[in-house]
Structure 1
Amino acid sequence: MLTPTEFRGIDQENSHRELIGALFSGLPKTLRDEGILMVLQAWFDESGKTEEPVYLLAGYVGKKTVWEDFAHDWQAELDHEPKLPYLHARESQLFKGTDADARVERLLKFVAIIRKHRLRGVSFLLKHSDYREFFRIISVHPVITPAERRMMRNPYYLSFQYIFTMMLIRHGQKCAESGTKELLEILFDDGGERKQRLKIGFENFVKTAKEKNPHLLDLLINKGPEFRDDKQMSPLQACDLFAWHFRRFCYEASRGNKYEDAIWRALRDGIEYDTYLFTESDWIKLLLRLRQSTWDELLKHKSEDNP
């Protein structure tokens, strides 16, 4: 795994490509080349002052070798005049002096790079109001332990359980069918205020997986959360672009409006996405599993009392 000293010492001219390769350092060459990198941007908004508060994870998945080629193309586009130091959807000052049409045209070139390399999108969305109501019910359920209550207080724990378990199961099936072994690295944007929630959520996901699906962790390179600065990692810049527009789409949809931004249309069309939504039926299934656990617990105690 790349140390902070090694991270700072990488040649900035080739930093994007080299940083991707460094994530898989220490593995045999065959595993390095076949490695899968998943990059995620987390959006956490509890305020609700101007928008419906949501928990959102969005990003892209691809092979290490694909990401390295992607990074080369992304950097080449950043270096075109007018040069950009990096791409960040919320930093409009990066395009200072550029009119709206030229800005859209430039951003579409970055979207074209995402499409060219056939990256697969992944997203998870959870409305804060839905989660708050669920937690109100589940936090007083008789079967829940204090540790589980603490874990479920963090909404990213649920999203990680849902996304990563599904992805690792599917990934394991693919490896079994093909006879190959592709290891997965999961990388997060180093977002300050969200970092601790993400860290705890990921650690709790690994803890639960060790107890219930330990074989899945054999497919995971990083058993702890990995964070990088999106200004230095082009894959994270791509998922920032997707996350920002996905969040805007959700905002408009919650008000019954269409979101027909040209960038969003280009991101949406021609790219395959796995979208995970925690619906009402998912909450009910989770509650039913807990109720079954309560029943099993009662039967266990009854049998112990009447041997």
Structure 2
Amino acid sequence: MGAHQRLFVAGAVRNAKRAFIDDSGSEIGDRRLFLAGYLNRTDQWALFADAWKEELNAAPSIEYLHMVEAGQLRGQFARRHGWNEEKREEKLNGLARVIRHFEPVSFQMSIDRSHFYNVLAPVSPRGLANPYFTSCSALVAKLAQEAARVDSKSRIEFIFDDQDGVDDDIDLFFDAMMQGLSKKARRCVYKKPLFRSDRDFVGLQAADLLAWHIRREHEECGFPNMPMAEKLRGRSHYVSEIPNAYLDAWAEHHRQQPGVDLVRSKAQWRDLKSRARQLKAAGINPARATKPGIYYPDSWGFFGRALEFLRRWLRR
């Protein structure tokens, strides 16, 4: 059984769907971070994996797709291997045809990283000072809400590309974050998001192709194949962003809360997560553990209030 089939065993989860998500961050302008990807039935993803690998193997072949290599004609796309702009476009168009054949739903979520780092990060605890953490939670929430609206029987498994450190934060605090959703929307989420390598899950390579082109489209740079972004969008394409006004409101909320200085450093954040796991193992909700001298004084109360503020946005 291939890696793309191991997470959902066929027939084990009814109405099973899977969303693959990758990110692409701009370093110009507002330094906007995009999370983008595709949603489809798990049986379609299994067929997709075979078709994608066949296209990868078609001459000139590559082992996997990394758009950072394709865009810069390096790595597997290096000119010394015989690649040029024309051959690259032929390969990308072939991969785009595979995506379009399986007709997945496409989606994107974005956040203004410059505003985030200037306004929100300085007053946030370490884990919440990462725009990827916020965007990941928001994207799952929005797709779950949309699934509940159009197909409440769906169960979606979310798979993100590997993110150093974020996977551990999401694993620990995701359940608390999702309490902001309706029961109907929460039922559409199949367990916590997973973070995996795009070498093992080719759906992540497809998400990389989409996220990269959406980011370049936003930058309005002169990459010669910008119409590709439109080709890669599905017939249904969902667009969402976290407005700067919400970042401002979160920052104002955070500034008024005690305890943030207790969870700013890497060591403090690691200690908080260790204590959180101990509390959860004892059947205690860490976000509500505020009793000084027994639990973590001040910072637990802060974290619980910070989560509640974010949950209110997720309920929009």
TM-score over 0.5 (shorter chain): yes
Map of 1:23 onto structure 2: 7
Give the alignment of 1:1-307 within 5 angstroms: 18-25=2-9, 29=11, 31-32=13-14, 34-43=15-24, 48=27, 53-91=31-69, 92-95=74-77, 96-135=81-120, 139=123, 149-176=125-152, 181-190=153-162, 194-201=163-170, 203-210=172-179, 213=182, 216-223=185-192, 225-250=193-218, 252-253=219-220, 261-262=225-226, 264-268=228-232, 271-283=235-247
Deviations 1:170-218 (A, max 9, x none): 2123334xxxx3211010112xxx3212442464333222366455433
Q: Matches of 1:212 and 1:90 in 2, distance apart?
A: 35
CA contact (8 A) 2:100 2:232 kept: no
Q: Matches of 2:36 and 2:240 in 1, distance apart?
A: 10
Could you say what secondary structure the match of 1:108 adopts? helix
- Per the TM alignment, residue 58 of structure 1 is displaced from its structure 2 partner at its CA by 1.5
CA contact (8 A) 1:39 1:236 kept: yes
CA contact (8 A) 2:121 2:129 kept: no
Could you say what secondary structure the match of 2:8 adopts? coil
Could you say what secondary structure the match of 1:195 adopts? coil
Aligned residues: 251
Q: Which letter does structure 2 place at the counterpart of 1:222?
A: K
Q: Matches of 2:187 and 2:132 in 1, distance apart?
A: 22
Q: TM-score, structure 1 length as denominator?
A: 0.68
Map of 1:300 onto structure 2: none
CA contact (8 A) 2:106 2:233 kept: no
Could you say what secondary structure the match of 1:61 adopts? strand
Segments of structure 1 that go 5 or more residues without pairing to the other structure are: 1-9, 11-17, 140-147, 294-307
CA RMSD of aligned residues (A): 3.4
Q: TM-score, structure 2 length as denominator?
A: 0.67
CA contact (8 A) 1:125 1:276 kept: yes
- Per the TM alignment, residue 132 of structure 1 is displaced from its structure 2 partner at its CA by 2.6
44 and 235 in structure 1: CA distance in 2 versus 1, 3 angstrom threshold? same
Map of 1:296 onto structure 2: none
| Comparing 90-99 and 263-272, the one that deviates more | 263-272
Could you say what secondary structure the match of 1:90 adopts? helix
- Per the TM alignment, residue 40 of structure 1 is displaced from its structure 2 partner at its CA by 0.9
- Per the TM alignment, residue 153 of structure 1 is displaced from its structure 2 partner at its CA by 1.7
136 and 65 in structure 1: CA distance in 2 versus 1, 3 angstrom threshold? closer
Q: Matches of 1:201 and 1:54 in 2, distance apart?
A: 21
Please state which structure has a larger fraction of its residues in helix.
Answer: 1
Percent of aligned positions that are identical: 22
CA contact (8 A) 1:160 1:205 kept: no
CA contact (8 A) 2:21 2:38 kept: yes
- Per the TM alignment, residue 260 of structure 1 is displaced from its structure 2 partner at its CA by 5.3
Could you say what secondary structure the match of 2:13 adopts? helix
CA contact (8 A) 1:151 1:204 kept: no
- Per the TM alignment, residue 109 of structure 1 is displaced from its structure 2 partner at its CA by 0.7
Segments of structure 2 that go 5 or more residues without pairing to the other structure are: 258-316
CA contact (8 A) 1:35 1:183 kept: yes
Map of 1:301 onto structure 2: none
